[in-house]
Structure formats: structure tokens, C-alpha cells
A and B are shown apart, each in its own frame.
Chain A
Amino acid sequence: MSCDRARESIADSIIGRGAVADASAVDTHLAGCAACRAYRAECEMMWSALGELPIPAAAPNATARFDAALRTERAAAMRLSRSSIVMRRLLIAAGVVTAMAVGYGAASWNIARSTRGAVAATTDTTQQYLLLLYDTESTGPGLSPKDLQAIIAEYSAWGRGLRAAGKLVSAEKLKDAPSEWFGGSVSIAGGERLGGFFLIRARDAAEARQIAEACPHLKHGGRVELRAIQKT
């Protein structure tokens, strides 16, 4: 065995803290090689001394400092997530405006139809429901033309479908101006606010639910509240 090979094995046995495969060959070599015996002794001494080198303790406030950093990091992540939500809601808002416009057209069409058949309109006993659409009042960066086009097309198709099926009574978008409350404000989770409504007609509550569940507002993260109109 050469000195180089013997020293590799010696290093392995020290660093790996275990027996090496050619231990007996190494022993034979060491028995006749004073230089390698000295090498082994020096390496073992250094390895042992390395373990005795002191290491200062971590700062006593390390945990408190990390907790604070973690809170900051999570708050930043939350803000990022929040801005994503705002962006999504903005897309929705754009779509809602279009859908409301479709609804307005439907209402006008219904009025014209009512004028032609006033008796039929006044005797319409179909149950009506209100779909209340909630979104955010936040404002943010502009929409990409592609996103806007896709959202508008989706809402428009939904509004046209309701109108064609004779389910749409009217629809309006509320202004973005701040609400005025009387008798105390109502708190809505997540900073959401009522953005508009659809007044629909449906055979029963099940059909109204079906219409509500198909509203694109849900797909894009908005909320829809369904309320039956109490006939008086």
C-alpha cells in the first residue's frame, strides 16, 4: 500500500469515525512507515482539538427576534395575497358592470313587453328572487385588455341567458360611492360590499338556487346572497 492510499484511509477513518475496508493493509503499512504514523497522530490530535474549540451561544433574544421577523414576513405575504384578491375583485367588478348593462337592457325589454301586454304583466305570479352581489370597494391597478374581455364575455353570456329564458326582471349596479348608514352600520366580513343586484323570477327556490350557483360572480371569488321577495 502506498503512503497516499494509506493516508486516504486514515483520513476516512478519522472523518468518518469508522473502520475502513482495508484496515489490515493500513496497519501493515503503518508498522513500517514512520511518516504515516506521524501523519495519523497529527490528524487525530487536530481532529480531537477541533472538537474542543469553543462556540459562542446564539444571541439570547434570537427566538423573540425570529418571531418578530416571522410576523413581518407573514404580514407581507398576506398583503401580497390581498392584492391578488383585489385584482380578482376588480376583474369581477368590470364583469358585473357589463352584466348589469345586459340586465338593464332586459328590464327595458320587459317594460316594452309589459306595455304590449299589460294584463299579462300584472298577473305574473311567478316568485321573484333577489341576487345580491358582493365585491370589494378597493381600487388598484388597471386590468389587462385580455382579462377584461374574458370577464365581460362571461358575464354577458350569463345575463343574455337569463334574459332569453325569461328569468330576468331587472338588474342594477350600485354606485361605488361610500354607503350612508342610518340606525348603525352593518359589518360585512373581508371588507366586501354590495356591488349590485339581479331581480330574477324562478319557479321555486330550487331553480333560484340553480341560477345563483351559475352566477359568474362566484367563479371569480365574489359572493352572492339569494333572497326571496315577499309578495305584499
Chain B
Amino acid sequence: MRAVRDGDVDRLGLLFERYHARVHALCYRLTRRADAADDLVQDTFLRVLRYRDTFRGDAAFTTWLYRVAYNVCHEHWRQGRRDEFPMEHSTPEAEEPRHAQPVSERHALLEQAMTRLDAEQRAVLVLTRYHDLKYDEVARVLDCTPAAARVRAHRALNDLREIYRELEQRQHELRPRARIDRR
């Protein structure tokens, strides 16, 4: 990245090759749309090119890259594409064809629970669970203090648990009724 920042722009292609899958995973987990994630990855790396001068090198490149990607996702959402960055519950059946299908009921519930978290809570969990970031690194991505990142992570985990339990409870309640309806 330092070479890119210092003018060797051709090396951005190498960075894309090396990191675009990770950025895609992040964007997908934040938006839950593979096609939108494809576009957001492109936007992220073009933004890396445009704002390369702002890379100071005092933190890991991936942290800076995730911050750019997070901002791109957030901007994408703020522009009105809420359906691609859902704040509310969405069912797997309503998703786009390229969405990964959950392999079990538990996974399906968890996916639903994740979509019910607000964007920042989801980001905290995604960054820690899938990208192995520590609180201070999450703080850099979300532009907050490490203490705030820690609190948000705790709340996100608690809220996810509560939502998951609620969804699980509802599903248990629906099952006997479904059996009765079939009779």
C-alpha cells in the first residue's frame, strides 16, 4: 500500500487480487446481498486509489481498508438502499439468488437475527467474528474509542442472543399449529 500511496498505482491491482475476497465477505455480511457486495468492493478499491494519500501506515493496512469499505457500505445505505442494508428482519426466501443458503434451521435463525441488529452492531460482530479484529482495531474502523467498541460488541452479542431466542421461541410456537393445520 505504501508503494501505491507513493505513486506506484499499478500495484493497486495486486492489492485488489490479494484482498478483494475479504472485502467482499465484509460487504456481504453488512448488506447480505452478493450483487451489492460486488459493486461495493469495486467502489472500495477505487476509493483506496483516490484517498491513498490518507493512508498513514500507523495501523495495519487491512484495518484501514475495512474502514474504507465500511464507509462505502454505510454511504450506500444512507443513499436510500435500505433494502440492501437491512435494518429490519428479512426472510431467506425473499433473498436474491446469489445469497448463500443457510445449511440448517439454526443458521437460518441466526441469519435472521443478524439482520435485525442495527448496522453498527452487525459491523462489530462481523469484524470480530469473521475478520479477527480486536477492539482497538474495530475502534479504528468505526471511528470510536476502543472502550466504546467493547461496549458495542457486548451489546451486539447480548442483542443477538435476545433476538435469536425470540425467533427460536416463535418458531417453536408455530410448529404445533402447522401440524394442526395439516390435519
A interface residue numbers (CB < 8 A to B): 7-8, 11-12, 14-16, 39, 42-43, 46-47, 49-59, 62-63, 65-67, 69-70, 73-74
Contact = CB atoms under 8 A, between A and B. Distances in A.
A62 B13 CA distance: 11
A53 B99 contact: no
A69 B28 CA distance: 21
Interface of B: 9, 12-13, 16-17, 20-21, 24-25, 28-29, 34, 37-38, 41-42, 45-46, 49-50, 98-103, 106-107, 110-111, 114, 125, 128-130, 134-135, 150, 153-154, 157-158, 160-161, 164-165
Given A8-B154, A42-B164, A56-B34, 19 more contacts: A7-B154, A11-B153, A11-B154, A12-B150, A14-B157, A16-B134, A51-B130, A52-B107, A54-B103, A55-B130, A57-B21, A58-B20, A58-B37, A58-B41, A59-B34, A62-B16, A62-B24, A70-B49, A73-B50
Nearest to B49: A73
Contacts, number: 102
A62 B161 contact: no
Contacts of B160: 46
B46 A73 contact: yes
Contacts of A70: 9, 12-13, 46, 49
Contact of B16 (A49, A57, A66): A66
A42 B130 CA distance: 19
A46 B99 CA distance: 21
A57 B164 CA distance: 26
